[in-house]
Structure 1
Amino acid sequence: MLLLSKENIKKVFTMKDAIEADKIAFKLVVEGKTNSPLRTNIQVPKYDGCLLFMPAYVEDMDVASLKIVNIFPRNIEKGMPTAPAQVLLINGTTGIVVSVLDGTYVTKLRTGAASGVAFELLAKKDCKIGALIGTGGQAETQLEAMLTVRDLDEVRVYDLNYERAVDFVKEAERNFSSFKTKIMAVKSSDDAIDNADLVITVTPSTKPVFDGNKIKKGATISCVGAYQHHMQEMDPVILTRASKIFFDSKEAVLSESGDILIPLEEGIITEEDFSGEIGDVIKGTVAGRENDDEIIVFETVGVATQDLIVANEIYNKALKENIGTIWE
């Protein structure tokens, strides 16, 4: 069995690789070629946390996976990951676990890459300003994905804790200096989204974190954090202004995300307003952006097939480059 740490993974796998892997995963989802039951969610109310178990199997590839990811938002106060995780990669012909990967980093990669896929396919070509709301454990790769797919002049970063946003920006400037994009902390979400072409929300908020009336025409919004019914980062106003609303998985979003479930229940939108899944755009069966004035929303809660494809790609690259630790 091959053990792959975060540092091992970084040696063989980039954000561009993750974006391409996510595209494969999203295409498999809409083609019905993956067996990935909705994740098991065990609540840990004592610590505002939850335990998530996410299996997936792709018969055509003879590979399966199980990700164990535990969401504990309070960890940010302890300087610990808010989504600690492991991914078990399983040989589909023998049932043997062939690799255990740092699931925290795999999750960051594939979750950031989902926004990358959305922006690559749905955003205007000429994007100059990005906004990132939230600076928790998933934020860094969200920023990286945004920078990877569009050549931005600046990205504004907002967090309820301004000092945390400042610290995040300092780290981001060190890690992403090659992109030549100005990254700055701002003191309000209004400042973040002002004239922004790309907007990412990645928070555990239970109330909207931006004003949907202030989103400019032509913007693309990726909402990442609302993975439970009571969570709602997205201002429902933006759903009424949006030309198109896409999901990573309609089934998963309608099972979990308060961003969409709450507006549905309140009658603000109906299922007729949905445009489809991002895999439909990848396949070419549904149109993506059709003009530069469209506001397009992408809601993602994550699907286990992403973990499977990303983990499998990492594993194969690591084998070729003799990276990782063999555990007999």
Structure 2
Amino acid sequence: MLLLTKHDIENIFSMKNAIDSDKTAFKLFSQNKSVVPLRTNIDIPKLSGQSLFMPAYVEDIDSIGIKIVSVFPKNVENGMPSVPAKMILMDGKTGDVCCIMDGTYLTQLRTGAGSGAATDVLAVKDAKKGALIGTGGQAECQLEAMLTVRNLDSVKIFDMNLERAQEFCTKMSEKFAKFGTEISVAKTTQEAIENADIITTVTTSKMPVIDGKFVKKGAHINAVGSYTPVMQEIDEYTIKNANKVFVDSKDAVLSESGDLIIPINKGIIDKSRIDGEIGEVLLGMIEGRKNDNEITIYKTVGIAVMDVVTAYDIYNCALKMHMGTVIEL
């Protein structure tokens, strides 16, 4: 069995690699070539946290996996990851565990890459301005994905904690200097999203963090943070009036995300508001962006097929490059 740390993964697997893996995962999912039960979510009320258990099987690559991931927002206050996790990868031919890897970084990587994949096919080709709302554990990979698929001149960053937003900008400006993108703080969400071609929200908010009246025509929105029925990042105006809404999984989003559940329960929209899955767009089964004036939304709650396909690709890279630590149990 192989053990892979975050450091191991970073050394062998790029954001571009991860985006390619997620594109494969989305297509397999929309072709019904994977078994992905809805995740089990256990609430931890006293710490405002949740623990989630996410299994999947992908026959095409003979792989099974389960990610055990927790979301504890208060961890940030103690300098700990807000989304600690472990990924267990199993050989689909034998059922035995072949690899255990850092699931925290895997989650950050594949979630950012999912937005990257959606942005690649839905955002306007000449996008120049980005906006990122939230600077928690998921934010860095979300930013990297945005920069990987589009040549952006600037990205505005907003967080409720202004000091944390400034620290994030300073760190990211140094880390991603190769992209040549100006990364700066916005004092309000309105300042961040006005004139932005790409908007990514990655918070645990229970109230909308953007006002759709300030979203420009032609913008693409990655709605990442809302993964429970009571969380809502995207305001109802935006959900109702966007030209296209795509999701990673219809069943998962309609079961888990307040971004869609809340306006549906209010009678503002119905399930037909979802135009399709991003995998269907990638497969050419449905049309994505029609023109440069459309506002498009990609809503994700994360599906385990993303973890299994990405973990499988990381594992095979590690074997080829002789990375990681081999152990016997």
Same fold? TM cut 0.5: yes
The SS at the match of 2:34 is coil
Aligned-pair distance for 1:239?
1.5
Distance 2:11 2:128 in 1: 30
Q: How far, CA to CA, are the matches of 1:300 and 1:258 in structure 2?
A: 11
**What is the CA-CA distance between 1:240 and the residue it aligns to?**
2.1
Aligned-pair CA distance for 1:272:
2.0
Counterpart position of 2:238: 238
The Cα of 1:58 is off from its aligned counterpart by 1.1
SS across alignment from 1:125: coil
One-letter code of the match for 1:184? Answer: S
Q: CA deviation at 1:20?
A: 0.4
Partner Cα distance (2:83, 2:296) in 1: 28
Q: Which amino acid aligns with 1:24?
A: T
In structure 2, the partner of 1:111 is 111
Q: CA deviation at 1:61?
A: 1.9
Match of 1:35 in 2: 35
- How far 1:274 sits from its partner (Å)? 1.6
- 1:228 counterpart residue number: 228
How big is the alpha-carbon RMSD for the aligned residues of Structure 1 and Structure 2? 0.6
Shift of the alpha carbon at 1:270? Answer: 1.5
Structure 2 residue aligned with 1:87: 87
In 2, Cα distance between equivalents of 1:148 and 1:179: 8
Residue equivalent to 2:13: 13
Which whole-Å CA distance do the structure 2 matches of 1:246 and 1:207 have between them?
21
The residue that corresponds to 1:258 in the other structure is 258
- The Cα shift of 1:172 comes to 0.4
Partner of 1:186: 186
Following superposition, the deviation at residue 273 of structure 1 comes to 2.1
2:198 counterpart residue number: 198
**Structure 1: gaps spanning 5 or more residues:** none
Runs of 4 or more, structure 1, over 4 Å off, are: none
Q: Distance in 1 between matches of 2:167 and 2:325?
A: 33
Q: Equivalent residues in 2 for 1:21-60 (5 A)?
A: 21-60=21-60
Alpha-carbon distance in structure 2 between the residues aligned to 1:259 and 1:53? 22
* Runs of 5+ consecutive residues of structure 2 not aligned to the other structure: none
Query: Secondary structure at the residue paired with 2:35?
Result: coil
- Equivalent in the alignment of 2:297: 297
1:200-219 residue CA offsets vs partner (Å, 9 max, x unmatched): 00000000001111100000
SS at match of 1:184: strand
**Map of 1:307 onto structure 2:** 307
Equivalent-residue separation in structure 1 for 2:60 and 2:205 (angstroms): 39
Report the Cα offset of residue 233 of structure 1. 0.5
Corresponding residue pairs, total = 328
Partners of 1:162 and 1:172 in 2: CA distance? 15
Q: How far apart, CA to CA, are the structure 1 residues paired with 2:317 and 2:272?
A: 42
Q: What are the equivalent positions in structure 2 for 1:119-138 lying under 5 Å apart?
A: 119-138=119-138
Aligned to 2:218: 218
SS in 2 for 1:261: helix
Report how far residue 187 of structure 1 moved: 0.7
CA deviation after TM superposition for structure 1 residue 36, in Å:
1.1
Question: After superposition, what is the alpha-carbon deviation per residue over 1:43-72, rounded to whole angstroms, capped at 9, x for unaligned?
Answer: 100100011000010123211001000000
1:55-102 C-alpha deviation (Å, 9 max, x unpaired)? 010123211001000000000111100000000000011111000010
TM-score by length of 2: 0.99
Using structure 1 for the length normalisation, give the TM-score.
0.99
Distance 1:103 1:240 in 2: 35
Q: 2:285 is matched with which residue?
A: 285
One-letter identity of the residue aligned with 2:105: Y
Structure 2 counterpart SS, 1:41 = strand
* Structure 2: distance between partners of 1:11 and 1:83: 21
* Structure 2 Cα separation of the partners of residues 212 and 131 of structure 1: 14
More off after superposition, 265-274 vs 289-298: 265-274
The letter of the residue matching 1:230 is V
- Per-residue deviation, 1:269: 1.2
Tell me what 1:166 maps to.
Answer: 166
The alpha-carbon deviation at position 121 of structure 1 amounts to 0.3
Q: Quote the residue 1:175 is aligned against.
A: 175
Distance in 1, Cα, partners of 2:59 & 2:7: 30
SS in 2 for 1:208: coil
Q: Deviations over 1:201-257 (max 9, x none)?
A: 000000000111110000000000000000001011112221100000011000100
CA distance in 2, matches of 1:58, 1:238: 35
3-state SS of the aligned residue for 2:142? helix
**3-state DSSP class of the match of 1:67?**
strand
Q: Using the alignment, how far apart are the partners of 1:33 and 1:243 within structure 2?
A: 29
Q: Distance in 2 between matches of 1:185 and 1:79?
A: 21
